[in-house]
Chain A
Amino acid sequence: MFDAILAKLSAVSRRGGRPDRVSILLPFLIISIGLGALAWRSYHLSTNMERGASALAGQYAGYAAEITARRVDAAVRAEMSRATEEWQQVERRGAEPTFVALRDWVTGHGWIVSAIYVPDDDPASSVYAAEAPALKKNAQRLTREFFTSTGTIRYTYDPQRLLAAQHNAIRQQPLVRKPDRGALAIQQPADVTLVSSVRAEGMEKLDDAFAFTARLGAPLDAFGIRAVVRTSYVGGRGWQNQRVVSLWVSLLALILTGIGAVLALRGLQKESETMKLRAALIANVSHELRTPLAMIRLGAETLKHPKLNEKERRDIEDQILREVLLLSHLVENVLDVARIQNDSAKALAFTPVHPRELIRNLVSTYESWIHSKGFTVSLHLDDAVGEQMWDRDSVSRALLNLIDNAIKYSSEDKAIDVVLRQTETDVVIEVRDRGIGIDAKDAAKIFDPYYRARFSDTTTRRGAGLGLTLVQQILASHGGRVEVDSVPGAGSTFRLLFPRGLSGAPDEVPSLANAREAF
């Protein structure tokens, strides 16, 4: 299957033509699958990491609580046996344990509240001592007794005070000397606290931490040690949660890939369209060049024939002249386009021009050609239009291109109107035909280079698709613009609008090269 995909891909890359949608989307699909795999892996890793960190933090909390609880147990036992030992030393020293000795023993241990000594031989001669201050009603009391050589000591003590004295034991020793929190991601050392009433024993999961409560040994089993270990991997909300972050990032990557795919598709489509248009241009131009050349050659061969009368000879000469004009017009167009594309346009020569004269000269020059196509040109020229600073050649070419278009896209009604008038701001040259018109969807594209409206009979009509592009560029170089009104089937009106009074500032007129950049 993979081979098939490879073969398809290489076929796509070899094929010069317009790449189809699949061949562009396929690489992106593959990239998306790769990204998806990465995202899945990353999600998987972060969940694993979270699970691992949770387990680690939970166990750490458990160990911290349990170890601390046992340390406290040991410390409490040691404290109690120290007290016992001290009393037995008192008994060993003195003959008869007195109130004073008992009192000293009680006050010597801050956590012992009261004690009674009951001698074996005579319980009635027991001694009782209590420490200051007076007993509180709600104070927690535990009782303990131990046997000495001569009697029994029974004492009450305050477990809170006893545990408070063990604060050294209630402290988590760090496992690592200098913990690097960023690397460990769980808190070191744990927060270890003494809780006076154990509600929930064992593991407990908090928002961002694990807590473990370990009960102390009897008789202090109402108390517990609670260790809390925070970890950045547990239950973080939003951006603090690695899992969520990896999901969002992979989503973003997929979206970006999608955007990339769309852009690449559009770019390649545009590129392939341009390529196609260029190929069409070459075909068109060579066809355009061949036809008049054939006509000229035919005419020239006929002229060599000795038995031609004068009229025939003149007709042929006219025909040759027409074809030469057409040919030179075509070549000029191609050259101009080439010049534009090479960014080497010559600076336009702005000279004072009478628009009326320019139009009349142009029409009379090409009159025989126009007539040969069966067209009549009617001129409606406003005498009020004065001299303008124009580049004579380029304006003529623009106008000629419009007339040429009018002839090319004609219908049965072979009439062309050329109007010269002026508005308050512009000098306007209109070329009206009664031809096939332009569809609204084509109207925006007709100025693109190589574009030819896709009429059903495009192939029968000649042209390189450069005419209107050139017209627009020429107008732009004169600071003007082109407007089109068209009704499909009823004809088109192309309107060249030149700003009036341009004559004052020829230097500011952009060259064709600049116009090309603007385009």
Chain B
Amino acid sequence: MFHSVSKAIVVAALVTAAAAVSADDPKCSATARECDQQIRQMLSGRRFFGAIVEDTKPGLVIKQITAKSPADAAGLKNGDRLIAINNKSLTQASAKEYKQVLADARETGKLWIIVWRRGAYKKFEARLEPYSKEQIEKIISAHLAHSHTTTAGAQ
């Protein structure tokens, strides 16, 4: 399966490379296959939630929900104030701490979220998802298109 995927990537790279790569851009010296593996490895695990928060100092407010994301599915909305996730209080937290909580939940992917919405606490359950195939392939092809020459790709 990996094999066919990388083949597709190489083809995509060949198609897009000539147009996208400008002459003076530094090149990635690793082979396309290695980069492919490396990117998949680094993106492994359940990490995608889809809610972007704004740091209101103190406190965190959701400012953007990605459509069809786990956050969207759970029912979170813009303007929700984050009170706690997985027993960790976030009323005084910064955006970094929010990301850390999500990173810590990477293994199980389970999230219990309490938000403050219009004067009431609301509880949500959500599951982090792995990055979708489309997302990963988009990242890989962007990398290959941007930093691999045709010769490196053809190898």
Residues of A that sit less than 8 Å from B by CB: 99-100, 103-104, 114, 116, 118, 120-135, 143, 145, 147, 149, 152, 154, 156
Contacts and interface: CB of A to CB of B under 8 A. Distances in A.
Nearest to B137: A124
Given A123-B131, A135-B34, A116 B43 contact: yes
B103 A121 contact: no
B134 A129 contact: no
B42 A134 contact: no
B99 A152 contact: yes
Contacts of A122: 66
Interface stretch (B4-12, B110-118, B139-147): B139-147
Interface of B: 25-26, 28-31, 34-35, 38-39, 42-43, 47-48, 52, 64, 66, 95-96, 99-100, 103, 131, 134-135, 138-140, 142-143, 146-147
Contacts of B66: 121-122
Given A103-B147, A124-B139, A130 B95 contact: no
B79 to A, nearest CB: 17
A132 B147 CA distance: 12
Nearest to A151: B99
A143 B41 CA distance: 10
Contacts of A143: 42
A135 B96 contact: no
Given A123-B131, A124-B135, A135 B30 contact: yes
A128 B135 CA distance: 13
Prevailing SS type, chain A contact patch: mixed
B43 A126 contact: yes
A134 B103 contact: no
A100 B138 CA distance: 18
Contact of B35 (A100, A124, A130, A149): A130
18 contacts: A99-B143, A103-B147, A114-B38, A114-B42, A116-B39, A116-B43, A118-B47, A123-B48, A123-B131, A128-B39, A128-B139, A128-B140, A129-B28, A129-B147, A133-B30, A134-B29, A134-B34, A147-B100
Given A99-B143, A99-B147, A130 B100 contact: no
Q: Which 7 A-B pairs have the closest CB atoms?
A: A132-B29, A124-B135, A147-B99, A128-B143, A126-B139, A124-B138, A147-B96
A118 B131 CA distance: 11
Nearest to B146: A99
A343 to B, nearest CB: 109
Contacts of B42: 114, 116, 128, 143, 154, 156
Contacts of A154: 42
Nearest to B35: A130
Given A121-B52, A128-B38, A134 B31 contact: yes
B38 A147 contact: no
Residue from A99, A103, A124 with most neighbouring chain B CB atoms (10 Å): A124
A121 B95 contact: no
B29 to A, nearest CB: 3
A104 B25 CA distance: 11
B25 to A, nearest CB: 7
A128 B143 CA distance: 6
A114 B147 CA distance: 13
Given A123-B131, A134-B31, A145 B103 contact: yes
B39 A133 contact: no
A439 to B, nearest CB: 111
A151 to B, nearest CB: 9
Contacts of B31: 134
A135 B138 CA distance: 23
Given A128-B39, A134-B30, 10 more contacts: A99-B25, A99-B143, A116-B139, A121-B66, A123-B48, A123-B131, A130-B28, A135-B30, A135-B34, A147-B99
A125 B66 CA distance: 14
A185 B33 CA distance: 59
Contacts of B39: 116, 128
Contact of A149 (B48, B95, B140, B147): B95
Given A114-B38, A124-B139, A132 B131 contact: no
B95 to A, nearest CB: 7
A105 to B, nearest CB: 12
B33 to A, nearest CB: 10
A125 B26 contact: no
A143 to B, nearest CB: 7
Contacts of B143: 99, 127-129
Contacts of A128: 35, 38-39, 42, 139-140, 143
Nearest to B132: A124
A511 B30 CA distance: 113
A125 B142 contact: yes
B96 to A, nearest CB: 5
A116 to B, nearest CB: 5
A319 B8 CA distance: 157
A383 to B, nearest CB: 131
Contacts of B95: 147, 149
A212 to B, nearest CB: 35
Contact of A133 (B29, B138, B139): B29
Contacts of A100: 25-26
A247 to B, nearest CB: 65
B43 to A, nearest CB: 7
A120 B100 CA distance: 13
A156 B131 CA distance: 19
A130 B30 contact: yes
B29 A123 contact: no
Nearest to A107: B26
